[in-house]
């Protein structure tokens, strides 16, 4: 039985249409959120951080933390349902590859620019998309902590995370890199035989001299050393494939200079799928 106890965004919605049948505790969570609003309890009270994690963590980037957003819990419940379906022998479903990340990975989903690429390259690998828009490393750690285990371990996982830690958060590049390391360790603890491909954070902003670009370069510079002691982990930086010879990031590749276009997703898949297939024995 998984241990997720969702606390949706503290707003009293007029209907319960967002309450998911997949998680009976969500009704309780919604009512609690409404109560929180009326009694003016600070939202920070509901950042679910274990006392042990707080003591042992050097920085919030490595401490599991929940997000108080109803859509986030909806998506998390959907992922729980996908895992439970894979665990049900009657449903003839399997999950062999985990794709872990933020909105950049999330955009492989239906309606996103990467959907055709997902269908062509990742769907045949029985992949589960664990990308959530806006997530930082601490949010991914919480999600992994609150997923039911797969009865048959995945063969591989791909991880790309960290851009929101430094571009929308207050983390320094080394702190964000520590968060990436913590997730890689967590994945290895969950499935010790699973192969893990950790990607360097993709370049952001058009020009090399932009502060975000520099921070990402620094973040990635720490990863090879931080990851080398974790079993079954391979590091790969495919970021240069998105840039021209002068290091410029075009809007054809990433229209908002952060999220890849369909062309960018094709480059991504071309760069990693051969390695993933080798890891998976396919």
- Are 101 and 259 contacting, i.e. CB atoms less than 8 angstroms apart? no
In this predicted structure, which of 14-28, 63-77, 126-140 has the lowest mean pLDDT? Answer: 14-28
pLDDT of residue 167: 85
Q: What is the pLDDT of residue 58?
A: 54
Tell me the pLDDT tens digit for each residue of 154-167: 999 999 999 999 98
Which tens digit of pLDDT belongs to each residue from 49-85? 333 333 344 579 999 999 999 999 999 999 999 999 9
The position carrying tokens 């960290």 is 162
Instruction: Provide the strand spans (E) within 133-221.
Output: 156-160, 195-199
Place of tokens 């974790």: 230
CB atoms within 10 A of CB 32: 18
Q: What is the pLDDT of residues 219-231, one digit of tens each?
A: 999 999 999 999 9
Q: Contact at 8 Å (CB) between 259 and 216?
A: no
- Low-confidence winner among 47-61, 225-239, 240-254 (lowest mean pLDDT): 47-61
∠ CA 229-232-235, nearest 5°, is 75
- Cα distances (Å, whole numbers) of residue 73 to 23, 79, 147: 10, 10, 12
Place of tokens 């009865």: 151
Whether 121 shows a pLDDT value over 80: the answer reads yes
**pLDDT, averaged across the chain:** 84
DSSP letter assigned to residue 240: G
Q: Which of 189, 196, 178, 219 is CA-nearest to residue 56?
A: 178
Q: Which two tokens stand for residue 207?
A: 């020009």
Reduced to 3 states (helix: H, G, I; strand: E, B; else coil), residue 74 is: helix
Q: Which domains does the chain have, with CATH numbers?
A: 48-280 (3.40.50.1110)
pLDDT at 46: 30
- pLDDT at residue number 144: 99
């Amino acid at each position: 039985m998984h241990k997720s106890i969702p606390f949706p965004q503290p707003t009293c919605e007029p209907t319960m249409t967002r309450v998911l049948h997949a998680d009976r505790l969500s009704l309780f969570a919604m009512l609690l959120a409404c109560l929180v609003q009326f009694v003016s309890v600070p939202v920070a009270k509901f950042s679910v951080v274990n006392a042990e994690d707080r003591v042992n963590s050097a920085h919030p980037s490595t401490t599991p933390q929940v997000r108080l957003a109803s859509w986030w819990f909806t998506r998390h419940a959907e992922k729980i349902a996908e895992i439970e379906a894979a665990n049900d022998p009657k449903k003839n479903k399997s999950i062999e590859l985990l794709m872990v990340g933020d909105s950049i990975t999330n955009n492989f989903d239906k309606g996103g620019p990467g959907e055709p690429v997902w269908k062509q390259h990742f769907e045949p690998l029985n992949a589960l998309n664990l990308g959530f828009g806006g997530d930082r490393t601490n949010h991914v750690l919480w999600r992994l902590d609150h997923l039911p285990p797969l009865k048959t371990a995945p063969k591989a996982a791909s991880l790309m995370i960290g851009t929101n830690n430094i571009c929308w958060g207050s983390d320094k590049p080394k702190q964000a890199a520590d968060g990436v390391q913590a997730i890689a360790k967590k994945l290895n603890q969950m499935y010790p035989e699973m192969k893990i491909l950790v990607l360097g954070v993709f370049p952001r902003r058009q020009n090399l001299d932009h502060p975000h670009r520099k921070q990402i370069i620094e973040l990635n510079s720490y990863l090879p050393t931080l990851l080398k002691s974790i079993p079954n982990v391979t590091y790969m930086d495919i970021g240069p494939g998105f840039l021209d010879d002068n290091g410029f990031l075009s809007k054809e590749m990433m229209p908002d200079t952060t999220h890849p276009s369909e062309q960018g997703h094709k480059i991504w898949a071309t760069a990693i799928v051969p390695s993933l297939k080798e890891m998976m024995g396919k």
